[in-house]
Structure formats: structure tokens, C-alpha cells
């Protein structure tokens, strides 16, 4: 594909991905706030719902704690703790229950040895290191190539390091979708929400999933653009 495409028209995919990411971020906040106003008729809190998911899957020894902030919910496999934000822990909304059960789904994934989440955890150190040195390596390769073109290979090492972020994002997709499926199954089978209330939980989790899809799209476009730009320079 021509070099000029990536330098001019090639900016369009980058801009579209940026807009997609902004929309996804806005949408998850909007959807959560919307269904935070739809309350469970059974009065179950987010923390209680998460505990039910754990018990239903035979998972024990996982603590559930409150954490500050908004949408800061996560499962920490190192301490075996589900941390729920203030807007989820004590809340009885369908949005809060969906988020809490999703995090419990991650705890279940670790308990049953779900392969993608184990793989994601294993590559976190390598991914973090690779993304930190990627841009310095590419810059160094370009600067030193004036002395010897052999140094330009550092650019490709940098691009390879940058690609680790895409690999991480790709592995994250099945992890997040699977956690949401586990959450919705547990909510439905455990009668945590009524069929009508399930809609709110499902839409909240779907909106959250779109942020991960946006991250994959953004990383992919950035990687392709880097390959096109620096590959063209080498041919020149």
C-alpha cells in the first residue's frame, strides 16, 4: 500500500479509532448511570450478588472489599480479593449487580484455571516492559541510523515490543466476554434479577465490553501505521 496513504489518508483510521474509544468510554459511563437508577426488586446488593456467584461456582476464600472511586471495580488475583467501588458495593441497581457479578466471574475464571486469563496474567510483566521501551527503541533506531543503517533494526525491535500491547488486548477480549457470560448465567440461574431487570445488567456489561474492543482496534491501527511508515523509510 502506498506510503502516502498512511501519511495522509492513513490518519483517518487513527481518528476513527480515537473517536470510537471516546464513544465507548462515554457510553459505558452513560449506560452505568442510566441503569444505576433501575433497582433490583429483590434488594440484593452488588457485594451480595458477587458472593452468590462465588458460592454457585463452588469458589471459596475470596474476599469482597469496598474500594474508592467510580468504576474502579476489579479482581486482584494476587490477594484473592474482589474490590467493588462505592457505587457498586452497597448498591442494589441492575448496573451494580452486573458489574459485581462480572468481577466475581473473573474470580471464578482463576479458580477453574481458565486458560486465557492465566495467559494474560503471565504476559503482563513482559507487556509492561515492552511498551515502555518500544518508543525509545524506535527513536534511537532512527537517530543512530545516520551513523550506520544497521542501527535501523532497533526500529523493528521497537515495533515488535509495541505489538505486545496488541497481543495483550487480544487475549483480554475473550477474558472479559467470558466473565460477562458467567455473570449473566449466574444472575439468571440464581434468580438475582428478574428477566426484565436482566436487560440493565446485560447492557451495562455490553457497554463495558466495547471499551476493550476499542482498545484492540486502536492498537491494531497504530501497529499497522508504524509498520507502514518505518517499512517505507527502510525501502527508501
Q: Which residues are catalytic?
A: 103
| Cell numbers representing residue 7 in the block | 501519511
* Continuous H helices in 38-93: 46-56, 86-89
Secondary structure tally for the chain: helices H, strands E: 8, 3
* Cα gap 83→100, rounded to integer Å: 9
Choose among 204, 186, 175: nearest CA to 27: 204
Contacts of 116 (CB under 8 A, 6+ apart): 171, 174, 175, 178
- In whole angstroms, give the CA distance from residue 17 to residue 131: 19
Cell of 112: 477453574
Amino acid at each position: 500500500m502506498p506510503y502516502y496513504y498512511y501519511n495522509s489518508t492513513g490518519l483517518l483510521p487513527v481518528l476513527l479509532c480515537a473517536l470510537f474509544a471516546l464513544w465507548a468510554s462515554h457510553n459505558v459511563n452513560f449506560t452505568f448511570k442510566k441503569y444505576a437508577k433501575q433497582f433490583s426488586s429483590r434488594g440484593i446488593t452488588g457485594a451480595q450478588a458477587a458472593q452468590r456467584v462465588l458460592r454457585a461456582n463452588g469458589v471459596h476464600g475470596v474476599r469482597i472489599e469496598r474500594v474508592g472511586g467510580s468504576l474502579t471495580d476489579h479482581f486482584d488475583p494476587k490477594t484473592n480479593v474482589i474490590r467493588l467501588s462505592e457505587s457498586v458495593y452497597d448498591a442494589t441497581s441492575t448496573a451494580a449487580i452486573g458489574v459485581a457479578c462480572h468481577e466475581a466471574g473473573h474470580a471464578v475464571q482463576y479458580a477453574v484455571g481458565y486458560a486465557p486469563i492465566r495467559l494474560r496474567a503471565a504476559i503482563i510483566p513482559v507487556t509492561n516492559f515492552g511498551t515502555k521501551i518500544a518508543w525509545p527503541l524506535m527513536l534511537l533506531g532512527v537517530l543512530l541510523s545516520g551513523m550506520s543503517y544497521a542501527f535501523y533494526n532497533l526500529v523493528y525491535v521497537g515495533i515488535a515490543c509495541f505489538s505486545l500491547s496488541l497481543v495483550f488486548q487480544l487475549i483480554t477480549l475473550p477474558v472479559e466476554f467470558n466473565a460477562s457470560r458467567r455473570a449473566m448465567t449466574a444472575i439468571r440461574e440464581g434468580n438475582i434479577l428478574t428477566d426484565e431487570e436482566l436487560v440493565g445488567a446485560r447492557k451495562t456489561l455490553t457497554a463495558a465490553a466495547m471499551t476493550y474492543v476499542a482498545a484492540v482496534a486502536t492498537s491494531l491501527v497504530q501497529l499497522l501505521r508504524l509498520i507502514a511508515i518505518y517499512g517505507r523509510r527502510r525501502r527508501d
